[in-house]
Amino acid sequence: MPQIREWNEISDRYHQGTLLLGNGSSIAVNDCFRYDSLFEEACSLGYINEQVQQVFEEFGVSDFELVLRRLWQAKKVNEALGVEPGRVEEAYSLVRKALINTVRDVHVSYEEASPHLESIYHYMMNFDTVISLNYDLIVYWAAQLSREELGVWFKDCFNKSEFRSDWADLREPYRADGTTLFFIHMVTWYFEEKASLARGK
């Protein structure tokens, strides 16, 4: 059985590796990013209707990512069985937009986050690559603040709204050292919205 270790015990083995940031890193800055808080807020703001609330209740969770994954899996099952697209896809889109909109509405201010930003960028600079799975601006703010001390250390890979499939090229830092940032959900959301606009939805 795998053994879970404290990061400080093993960190020297992973110098300049890849850091994957999930929702816990945002919660460490502010509790407003906890899934239970986000879920309650999404329901109270009307971003999640009663029918989709029942999906969360069925799984006994307030975890948006788990529900999104299950809906995505249901979509794949439907595709394999030849079931016409419909309510599952609508629910997936609703949950995803609810998460994005709720994070936007409850997001901490820069002033509230600022006491944490310096320690965040000092930690991130120990890695070649940082991949953020979050929908908030904490990592982006930390990278921007770092310029005062580090200059252009972090490369965020935003590329004038152009999709780049050559990730090897994107990983090249601006300088001999540095850290490459990838904001996975932000990029995915941008292109999904762009595709929806193109379809007139």
Residues 6 or more apart whose CB falls under 8 angstroms from that of 23 comprise: 33, 35, 65, 133, 134
Is residue 102 within 8 Å of residue 38, measured between CB atoms?
yes
Instruction: Give every CB contact of residue 157 below 8 A, 6+ residues apart in sequence.
Output: 164, 170, 180, 181, 182, 183
Contact indicator for 145, 198 with CB cutoff of 8 Å: no
pLDDT score, position 5 = 85
36-65 per-position pLDDT tens digit = 999 999 999 999 999 899 999 999 999 998
| Residue 20 falls in which region: left (phi positive, over 0), alpha (psi -120 to 50) or beta | beta
- Note the pLDDT of residue 193: 52
8-state DSSP, 195: H
C-alpha distances (whole Å) from 175 to each of 22, 142, 164, 199 are 27, 19, 20, 40
| Ranges of the chain with pLDDT below 50 | none
Task: Tokens for 168, please give them.
Answer: 């090897």
Q: What are the residues facing 165 on neighbouring strands?
A: none
- Tell me which DSSP letter residue 16 carries: T
Beta strands in the chain (DSSP E): 18-21, 129-132, 154-155, 179-183
Task: Give the tokens for residue 177.
Answer: 């050292």
3 state DSSP class of 117: helix
| Backbone φ and ψ of 131, nearest 5° | -115, 115
